[in-house]
Amino acid sequence: MAVDNPHANKVTIHILAAVAQHEREMIAERTRAALQAAKARGVKIGRNGAECLAPAYRVAAAERAMSLAPVLTQLVKAGLSARQIAAELTARKVPTLLGVMACPNGAQGGASRKA
């Protein structure tokens, strides 16, 4: 029984499913045609992440690692565990990249990263 159409029977559901399948195929065909047309115009498809975003993220990660390196080195030399480092970074109000509290796994990864 369909909640949004309680009077639908098996035939109605089958017809709706067939229409949905046909619509999916039409959308896929339009997408393929649009991608082919863009390629014919010389547009590069699907490389924004690899060519634009990844290098920017790499630079941001390296800059953050360099800025945190003295603090992490000090905490590691003090013999703190990853959990203690995370707690200390949280106590010092050092935000993560997402602006949340530090966690042990993140602190451990940052301590071992070489910029």
**pTM metric for this prediction:** 0.44
Dump pLDDT digits (tens) for 7-48.
888 999 899 999 999 999 999 999 999 999 998 998 877 777
The pLDDT of residue 112: 52
CA distance 106 to 65: 12
DSSP sequence for 52-107? IIHHHHHHHHHHHHHHHHHHHHHHHHTT--HHHHHHHHHHTT---TTSS---HHHH
Dump pLDDT digits (tens) for 69-101.
999 999 999 999 988 998 898 888 888 777 766
Q: Is the pLDDT assigned to residue 1 strictly greater than 60?
A: no
Report phi then psi at 60, rounded to 5.
Answer: -60, -40
Yes or no: say if 77 and 57 are a contact pair by the CB < 8 Å rule: no
